[in-house]
Amino acid sequence: MSTTSRRRFLTAALAAGACGAGLSACSDSTAVAPAVASSNPPTAEPVLDGEQALARLVAGNARFVAERDERLDEGVARRVAVSQGQHPFATVLGCVDSRVPIELVFDQGLGDLVVVRSAGEALDHSVTGSLEFGVAELHTPLLVVLGHQRCGALDATIKALDAHQRTSEAGQIGYLVEALAPAVREVAGKPGDRLTNAIHANVDLTLAKLRQSTVIAPLEAAGKLKLVGAYYELDTGRVVLS
Ligand SMILES: [Zn+2]
């Protein structure tokens, strides 16, 4: 199967979805409406640009921080509505840390976000390919790389490098250390907290690598995709944009 064929297959299998028995709606235009008003139209074509998508995420994080119970897009009606298709408005790469669930942090519901998570936001072929799928096939106009306070993956990388640990002896975790090591090395000798500096550097380096993607770079150059780095504060629940 050619690359193009595979992409089409993935698009057909993951994005569109087939009409299912027992549901009253089989197309986006006739999808079941949510029972409650929603700020995020469940099946509308994506009309947001990157700035609008970012504003929606920022507003969602403000709701999360304020503990306002306005999560309207997680119920049965929403689930039914998005079962026949999806139009997420942002792709987010975050850490696997159990304290940083992406949808909750941005107060978004079913069908809103393409979420990819790896320890320390480390990139590999699968992670990068999944992000490319989000922006190129699901057409999200925004790609966010979200680092977070006290990231254990970066902390472990610092400790491994300091101990001159042979990463080849640490199973696949060694791969993560190798992937995150450039961020740790970049902040060596800089003032401030070493771990915090490395977390921010890692977000920047990850964005730089993603900008080398032959899928992502042209979208950004054409103004169809906005790339943003961000930092989640465990202490406050706030997401601070880079
Ligand atoms: Zn982490």
Residue 204's domain is classified under what CATH number?
A: 3.40.1050.10
Check if the beta carbon of residue 145 is closer than 8 Å to that of residue 203. Answer: yes
Residue 10 lies in a domain: no
Q: Which single residue is written with the structure tokens 């990850």?
A: 206
CB 139, CB 125: distance < 8 Å: no
Does residue 89 fall inside a structural domain?
yes
Residue 24 falls inside a structural domain: no
Domain annotation covers residue 4: no
Q: Which of 143, 54, 161 is nearest to 91 (CA)?
A: 143
Q: What CA–CA distance (Å, rounded) separates 83 from 77?
A: 10
**pLDDT at 45 (0 to 100):** 53
**What pLDDT is stored for residue 68 in this prediction?**
74
What's the structural domain count of the chain?
Answer: 1
Distance 19 CA to ligand 1 centre (A): 39
pLDDT at 237: 97
Which pLDDT does position 18 carry in this prediction?
Answer: 31
| C-alpha of residue 116 to centroid of ligand 1, in Å | 13
pLDDT digits (tens, 9 = 90+) for 100-133: 999 999 999 999 999 999 999 999 999 999 999 9
Q: How far is the CA of 121 from the centre of ligand 1 (A)?
A: 7
Question: Per the domain annotation, does 13 fall within a domain?
Answer: no
- The CA-based dihedral angle spanning residues 101, 126, 204, 111, taken in that order and rounded to the nearest 10 degrees: -40
Does the residue 80 lie in any domain? yes
In a domain, residue 187? The reply is yes
Say if 42 falls within a structural domain: no
Distance of CA 40 from the midpoint of ligand 1 (Å):
29
* Residue 179 belongs to domain spanning: 48-241
Residue 74 Cα to ligand 1 middle (Å): 26
How far does the centroid of ligand 1 lie from the alpha carbon of residue 100, in Å? 8
User: Tell me, what amino acid is at 206?
Assistant: T
CA of 87 to the centre of ligand 1 (A): 28
Q: Helix 194-210 to helix 152-162 angle, to the nearest 10 degrees?
A: 110
Measured CA angle at 57 (ends 116, 212), to 5 deg? 45
The 3-state secondary structure of the chain reads: CCHHHHHHHHHHHHHHCCCCCCCCCCCHHHCCCCCCCCCCCCCCCCCCCHHHHHHHHHHHHHHHHHCCCCCCCCCHHHHHHHCCCCCCCEEEEECCCCCCCHHHHCCCCCCCEEEEECHHHCCCHHHHHHHHHHHHHCCCCEEEEEEECCCHHHHHHHHHHHCCCCHHHCCCHHHHHHHHHHHHHHCCCCCCCHHHHHHHHHHHHHHHHHCCCCCHHHHHHCCCCEEEEEEECCCCCCEEEC
pLDDT tens-place string over residues 34-52: 333 344 555 555 568 999 9
CB contact at 8 A, 54 and 242? no
Residues in the chain where the model's pLDDT stays below 50 = 1-39
* Ligand 1 center to 96 CA (angstroms): 6
Are 124 and 144 contacting, i.e. CB atoms less than 8 angstroms apart?
Answer: no
- Strand-strand pairing, 142-148 and 226-232: parallel
Ligand 1 mean position, distance from CA 144 (Å): 15
